[in-house]
Amino acid sequence: MGCFFSKKSRRKSPKKDSALPDGDESATGNDLPESNNTALGSDNNQEAPKQYSWDKREKVDPKDFMLTGLKNETVGRLPGKLNGQQFVIQDCENCNIYVFDHSATITIDDCVNCRIMLGPVKGSVFFRDCKDIKCVVACQQFRTRDCKKMDVFLCCATQPIIESSTGMKFGCYQYYYPELAFHFKDAGLSIFNNNWSNIHDFTPVSGETNWSLLPEDAVVLECVPLPDPESEFKSVRISTEASRSIVPLTKGGRRTESEESCLFVFFAGDYTTANARKLIDEATTKGFVLIQTKEVSMRPEDVNRVFQSNAESLTEWITKGPVVALELNGDGVVEACRSIANEVFNGAKLFVSESKNTSSRDVDNFFNFADMQMGL
């Protein structure tokens, strides 16, 4: 029994003599009423043509949304330059590339020996025919095809996929710059939904391993350095420390040192994200390890299935939004989490495993449900 506490490229402007939109044949100044034409007495004084929405759109230069054919350069985009547009990187060699903005999708083709940092991507990030790449990526979908030797610090909402790729190494996303939290929100990504270690190899080879996990002590700056102080990105305040990272550092699929885990769930409220971060700080300071996190919506039937005997008391708490769940691991973690809940989060709407005898079941019930909910 658990314990609970209370865009794509723009259309060009129509030419002056181009056809009008269907059903709007009287939309020009040439079709003024006869009496009005007579009163004006001159064709030069006719009404100005009506403006349409596409006439007022800001013109987009495709070159602003691609990097191509570069060598030995530090390049990228500052915050506010992409604003959710698609972006393309291709045929770059020995470059440091920084995209400090959110985007729709990003494709990276035929790049060699590059260090790449990509801000949150609402859709997919697709690497093709690349080799010797080190990158930091946050996205909805991550995929590689025909790639060799990539080190990826990843936050991915779905299961990352590699295809015909070898020498792939993955670690948990660790990064911060001031606008990053807003960019995650603009891209529709949750910092708690990160499947960085749950890799699917679309083309496995018997007896060979095409991917592995980076060492736990892997350092982002050794893979993707800070921008050159002389570059246009010198003013961006960056941190790669785990304690500053927007995305919580999780152990993922690595082997745990303890058989004891605890499920800790925050129900929607004004401070859910802040409370989850506070819990992580409190627990890791005590030596416990964060295994995984999830943010998902729940229905009453989901509450019944996951929380079982406690469901009746918890059902009313799911109506205000998604829940944030964390799995913490270590000997004595259940007792420690219950103490933290009482001392730090007294009055907050949350659930904590009641004992180590039931905590494994709690963890399995919740995260199996969450994975099914997210199609993992």
Q: Is 368 domain-assigned?
A: yes
111 and 207 in one domain?
yes
Query: Which pLDDT does position 346 carry in this prediction?
Result: 87
Which residue, among 4, 68, 37, 1, has the nearest Cα to 337 in the 3D structure? 4
State the Cα–Cα distance between residues 27 and 64, nearest whole angstrom: 34
Tokens of 329: 């691991």
User: Which parts of the chain have pLDDT scores under 50?
Assistant: 1, 6-42
Q: Any known ligand binding at 212?
A: no
The domain containing residue 329 runs over which residues? 256-375
Q: Any known ligand binding at 23?
A: no
Query: Which pLDDT does position 34 carry in this prediction?
Result: 42
311 and 367 in one domain?
yes
Query: Which pLDDT does position 18 carry in this prediction?
Result: 37
Q: Where are the beta strands (DSSP E) in 173-288?
A: 200-201, 211-213, 261-266
State the Cα–Cα distance between residues 295 and 80, nearest whole angstrom: 27
Q: Is 187 domain-assigned?
A: yes
261 and 218 in one domain?
no
270 and 215 in one domain?
no
Q: Is 131 domain-assigned?
A: yes
Q: Any known ligand binding at 140?
A: yes
Burial readout 349-360 (b: 16 or more C-beta within 10 A, e: otherwise): bbbbbbebebbe
Q: Any known ligand binding at 299?
A: no
Q: Any known ligand binding at 141?
A: yes
318 and 197 in one domain?
no
Query: Which pLDDT does position 24 carry in this prediction?
Result: 43
Q: Any known ligand binding at 77?
A: no
Tokens of 277: 């971060």
192 and 118 in one domain?
yes
The enclosing H or E element of 285 equals helix 272-285
Q: Is 10 domain-assigned?
A: no
Q: Is 86 domain-assigned?
A: yes
CATH of the domain at 317: 3.30.70.141
Neighbours of 256 (CB within 10 A): 13
Query: Among residues 175, 202, 222, which one ends one of the domains?
Result: 222
218 and 272 in one domain?
no
Query: Which pLDDT does position 89 carry in this prediction?
Result: 98
Q: Is 295 domain-assigned?
A: yes
> Which residues lie closer than 8 Å to 373 by C-beta, 6 or more apart?
296, 297, 302
Number of structural domains, the chain?
2
Query: Which pLDDT does position 140 carry in this prediction?
Result: 98
State the Cα–Cα distance between residues 153 and 172, nearest whole angstrom: 5
Query: Which pLDDT does position 3 carry in this prediction?
Result: 53
151 and 271 in one domain?
no
262 and 216 in one domain?
no
Query: Which pLDDT does position 270 carry in this prediction?
Result: 78
Query: Which pLDDT does position 23 carry in this prediction?
Result: 40
pTM value?
A: 0.83
Length of the chain: 376
> Which long-range contacts link 52-61 to residues 24+ away (Cβ below 8 Å)?
52/14, 52/21, 54/10, 54/11, 54/13, 54/14, 55/13, 55/14, 57/10, 57/11, 58/10, 59/10, 60/9, 60/10, 60/85
